[in-house]
Amino acid sequence: MKKSQNSENFSPELSSSSSSRTYIEIKEHVRYSETDQMGVAHNKNYFEWFEIGRTEFCRQKKIPYKSIEDRGFFLVVVEAFCRYKRALRYDNTFFIQVSLQDITAKKVVFSYQLLSENKKQLMAKGYTIHIVTNAKSEVKNFPEDIINKLKS
Amino acid sequence: MKKSQNSENFSPELSSSSSSRTYIEIKEHVRYSETDQMGVAHNKNYFEWFEIGRTEFCRQKKIPYKSIEDRGFFLVVVEAFCRYKRALRYDNTFFIQVSLQDITAKKVVFSYQLLSENKKQLMAKGYTIHIVTNAKSEVKNFPEDIINKLKS
Amino acid sequence: MKKSQNSENFSPELSSSSSSRTYIEIKEHVRYSETDQMGVAHNKNYFEWFEIGRTEFCRQKKIPYKSIEDRGFFLVVVEAFCRYKRALRYDNTFFIQVSLQDITAKKVVFSYQLLSENKKQLMAKGYTIHIVTNAKSEVKNFPEDIINKLKS
Amino acid sequence: MKKSQNSENFSPELSSSSSSRTYIEIKEHVRYSETDQMGVAHNKNYFEWFEIGRTEFCRQKKIPYKSIEDRGFFLVVVEAFCRYKRALRYDNTFFIQVSLQDITAKKVVFSYQLLSENKKQLMAKGYTIHIVTNAKSEVKNFPEDIINKLKS
């Protein structure tokens, strides 16, 4: 994800220069049930869209999230943030861009941008921070091979 | 749930006379996120409300649904139906009434009514049919003691 | 939607022969947030998927649902039904097939089938019945041109 | 909400001392449909719970959010943050505490804490930042009387 030049980086932690970072992108539509009576997509759905993006990120890195869980590792969300820029409305097409902000054996940070259909407008941006656990919610280290695939 | 006399029973299967059937009742509010751009509660939420009602039904029968799953039994929904009568809007108070329509070792049927705050208007009614499985989704028989508690 | 020969038609009302009825189809994935602790897609999501199918049905008939609302007509759900056949799990690919079961100036009935990725298994089927209202929730007649487009 | 002394304030912006700030509290349960296949409440639901808390906050301040919208003002979320501390599971009882962090004619900041049933454990904390708009999404100033009620 080519980082923009502006100063809107939402957290010092996330502002590290990373112009070479790769991102994946998927296209989505706003579902009717995702709108609320204000006529726009409800704020909670953005976190669901972030997650769809993560799923696709892992798939494109040849390590589907399902296969990660099948090996007994879970990416538990410990922090989530979204800045909403412009409203998304019913049936709007938008793009979800996901990049891996940071990864260690113990922590994974994804960042997200939602773009308008013509990709000229930033609709929202955010990040999620995850720790790695097993099925019993015990903190674990991510295996090297998974880290390497996600970083590839 | 004292069945009304009218002819609106939504299915022959469910129309059996059962005037003595007991019901439990809980009070809920429509959440903002449950509305859609039409300004009313979205149709899918009614099935979530039915489920909240089931949870409360089991609790009041002294067999919390959590304890049923802890014993390895799952009530899997195989059929769900709702008839929407009057719209529910943001922050509206309403009542969910749940009764056990039918129960055997292999099948459980719950029926539901949603009533307005003053209980004078029927907002929606519906039913769900469940089979009993274990954690591997294999069909099982419900133990006698659970059946008896739910019927009590 | 070519109706199967079996006797599982969920309602006499909906069993009318309609072998020539056309259907539209879209492909979807089960989102992580759509699963519940049973490890399968929660029953309420099927009604959201039905709706995505309706949206796509209208779009393919050249009368996007958004344009219907923009003209002041709303398709209000008055009845919804789903029969769940086989569980859908996280990241499963599935197909939503939608056909127009019935349409008059006052009532529209859609029917739905959810198929497995290889299209060999019926995962779920259902229907929704809608009336036509204006923005004030007053019952209205659907204009001829909209009916004709949807029927085309 | 009596602020704790610890250094976990999630943002400098939000760390201003405010020991005298009042909070409202409501009790909730985790719904089955709010869990995911990890067996815990999905991260997106916390933002829905924050919103339920806001609704209750306004109600207790004698200015129900519905009445704010009825006067043509909308509290649009421009930023949302949650830090997840401990997992919430199906049917867990928890408390949502909401306080008004900051309010001006143009911006409102709410902060939230989710506590365990015995109130001894912090399950999650977060904040939302809102601007004020009219129904056309134009930025507006909040009327004095609403500000005063919310601050009371």
pLDDT of D1 > 90? The answer is: no
B90 to D32: CB separation less than 8 angstroms, yes or no: no
pLDDT value of residue B22: 87
The Cα–Cα gap between C137 and D28 comes to 32
Inform me whether the C-beta atom of residue C13 falls under 8 Å from chain B C-beta atoms. Answer: no
Q: What's the pTM value of the predicted model, to 2 decimals?
A: 0.89
Q: CA of D53: how far to CAs of A34, B58, D111, D126, D128, in Å?
A: 20, 27, 10, 12, 11
D43 to A74: CB separation less than 8 angstroms, yes or no: no
Distance from CA of C69 to the nearest CA of D (A): 17
The Cα–Cα gap between B137 and A43 comes to 35
How high is the mean pLDDT of chain C? 89
Inform me whether the C-beta atom of residue C27 falls under 8 Å from chain A C-beta atoms. Answer: no
**C neighbour chains, 3+ CB pairs within 8 Å:** A, B, D
How high is the mean pLDDT of chain D? 89
B55 to D64: CB separation less than 8 angstroms, yes or no: no
pLDDT value of residue D53: 98
Which of A38, A47, A48 is the closest to D74 by Cβ? A38
Closest CA to C130 of C90, C152, C102: C102
Q: Which chain B residues are within 8 Å of C43, Cβ to Cβ?
A: 47, 51, 77, 80, 128
For residues D48, D53, D57, D63, the Cα torsion angle rounded to the nearest 10 degrees is 30
Closest CA to D47 of D135, D124, D102, D131: D124
Give Cα B47 distance to the centre of its chain: 8
D38 to A84: CB separation less than 8 angstroms, yes or no: no
pLDDT in tens, chain A (152 residues): 333 333 343 443 444 444 457 899 999 999 999 999 999 999 999 999 999 999 999 999 999 999 999 999 999 999 999 999 999 999 999 999 999 999 999 999 999 999 999 999 999 999 999 999 999 999 999 999 999 999 99
Residues of chain A by 3-state class (helix, strand, coil), percent to 5: 25, 35, 40
Mutate to test the interface with C, among B11, B44, B45, B65 (most CBs of C within 10 A): B44
Give Cα C113 distance to the centre of its chain: 8
Say which residues have a Cβ less than 8 Å from residue D138's Cβ, sequence separation at least 6: none
B37 to A37: CB separation less than 8 angstroms, yes or no: yes
**B neighbour chains, 3+ CB pairs within 8 Å:** A, C, D
Closest CA to B50 of B110, B131, B121: B110
Say which residues have a Cβ less than 8 Å from residue B39's Cβ, sequence separation at least 6: A37, B89, B90
* pLDDT tens digits for range D22-70: 899 999 999 999 999 999 999 999 999 999 999 999 999 999 999 999 9
Say which residues have a Cβ less than 8 Å from residue C121's Cβ, sequence separation at least 6: C85, C86, C115
pLDDT value of residue A5: 36
What angle is formed at CA B41 by the lines to CA B39 and CA B45, rounded to 5 degrees?
Answer: 155
Mutate to test the interface with C, among D31, D32, D36 (most CBs of C within 10 A): D36
Is residue D2 classed as helix, strand or coil in its secondary structure?
A: coil
pLDDT value of residue C103: 97
Q: Which chain B residues are within 8 Å of A36, Cβ to Cβ?
A: 32-33, 35-37
pLDDT of D109 > 80? The answer is: yes
Walk along chain B (152 residues) in steps of 10 and give the mean pLDDT of each run.
38 43 93 97 98 97 97 97 98 98 97 98 98 95 97 92
Closest CA to D77 of A32, A122, A35, A87: A87
Mutate to test the interface with D, among B40, B66, B70, B117 (most CBs of D within 10 A): B66
Structural domains in chain A, CATH included, are 5-147 (3.10.129.10)
pLDDT of D15 > 80? The answer is: no
pLDDT value of residue C71: 97
C48 to A55: CB separation less than 8 angstroms, yes or no: no
pLDDT value of residue C4: 37
pLDDT value of residue C9: 39
* pLDDT tens digits for range C30-47: 999 999 999 999 999 999
What angle is formed at CA A66 by the lines to CA A62 and CA A68, rounded to 5 degrees?
Answer: 70
Q: Which chain B residues are within 8 Å of A46, Cβ to Cβ?
A: none
